[in-house]
A = this chain, B = another copy of it.
Amino acid sequence: MIDVAHLAGVSVKTVSRVVNHTPTVDAALTERVLEAIRELGFRRNDVAANLRSGRNTSTIGLVIEDLSNTFYSTIAAAVFEVSHRFNTQLITASSEETTSLEEEIVLDLCQRRVDGLIIVPTGNDQSYLQPEIDMGLPVVFVDRPPAGLNVDSVLIDNRKGARAAVEQLLSEGHRKIAVMVDSLHIYTMRERLIGAEEALCAAEVPPEDHIFEAWPHEPSDAAGVVAHLFDSPSPPTAVFCGNNRILMGAVAELVRRGEKTRVAGFDDFEFAGLLPHPVTVVGYDTPALGTLAAELLFRRIHGETLPPKHELLPTYLAERGIPPARRYG
């Protein structure tokens, strides 16, 4: 801390005030202190630990897109379990898929001096967190990697999972496969699209038969896309859905039309077994995403200083939905 003050040419008190976010510190002084902390390089963590010691609030923050979505709430439940084990309270916040809200919420959590953060990022740039990380704040990203930061992340192997599902459809003889994903602003959607594309290219499906129709968000959007596809002169024989809400919308429309189209989709879920149409789902261990992220965070909070870890969880394929033989008309 003395070294930082010395290098920045300010008092130790000023360093302390910068680290503690005292709002009255001059912007230029703040920049000099942060610069000095950065320049001290490998001693950063010690400085930070020193600066942060005794300030443990026994709270961590979890910033996710939407708490009411089962996927995120399952992660939240797993994170809560780990934090409870470490006698730490969990502050949860939904960024509502809004970049500006993400930054506002994250910086508010920093100002409240949480001991660490777990984030499902929404925006395309999380470099606003660099000063906090430089000052020793442990941060773990989950489900989507950060942009502009090199810190811990726990992700699903989206690409391999999507590729495996589309390979399964191809192995059954399908060539005209409609791939439907949500907005390509979302990392997981880009990865799943790439995985599907890899499978189609490897099978030498001609580019004109790669169908990427639209980017549905709500199940009703997906139903609309399916309606459009099946009203066309040469509809696909198989459909790959980028997430469970797209799958729901697609299945609803296919069932409504009486189409026996082959369906595969990302995400396994409690209800999948009751879908009124056979589907191949790409599943993974959702609670493990939260558990691993939280355990990693607490190792950092407890002082572990290994290089950033990048965990990639495997996926599996499973058959869901009610087979035609068991349904009645």
Q: Is the CB of A67 within 8 A of B76?
A: yes
Smallest Cβ-Cβ distance to A248: which chain B residue: B274
Q: Give the residue among A67, A77, A275 with the most B Cβ atoms within 10 A.
A: A67
Contacts A219-B270, A276-B274, A328-B327 given; indicate if A67 touches B73 (C-beta within 8 A). Answer: yes
* Pick from B59, B105, B219, B325: contact of A91, CB under 8 Å: B59
In the bound complex, residues from chain B placing their C-beta under 8 Å from that of A112 are 89
In the complex the two chains form, what is the Cα distance from A89 to B111 in whole Å? 12
Do B76 and A89 touch (CB < 8 A)?
no
A206 at the interface (CB under 8 A from B): no
Residue of B nearest to A328 (CB): B258
CA separation between A255 and B80, bound complex, in Å?
Answer: 37
Q: Mark A4-28, 1 if CB is under 8 A from B, else 0.
A: 0000000000000000000000000
CB-contacts of A229-268 with B (<8 A): 248, 251-252, 255-256, 258, 260
Q: Which residue of B lies closest to A94 (CB)?
A: B80
Q: Which residues of B contact A256 (CB under 8 A)?
A: 326
In which size bucket is the chain A interface? 35 or more
List the B side residues contacting A303 at CB < 8 Å. none
Q: Does A329 contact B (CB under 8 A)?
A: yes
Q: Is B276 a contact of A322 with CB atoms below 8 Å? A: yes
Interface residues of A in 84-107 (CB under 8 A from B): 84, 89-94, 105
Q: Give, as a whole number of angstroms, the nearest-CB distance from A304 to chain B.
A: 25
Residues on B with C-beta less than 8 A from A72 are: 73
Whether the Cβ atoms of A70 and B70 lie closer than 8 Å is: yes
**Pairwise interchain contact B274-A252, C-beta atoms closer than 8 A:** yes
* Cα of A197 to Cα of B80 in the assembled complex, Å: 38
Known contacts A77-B67, A271-B248; A109/B94 CB under 8 A: no
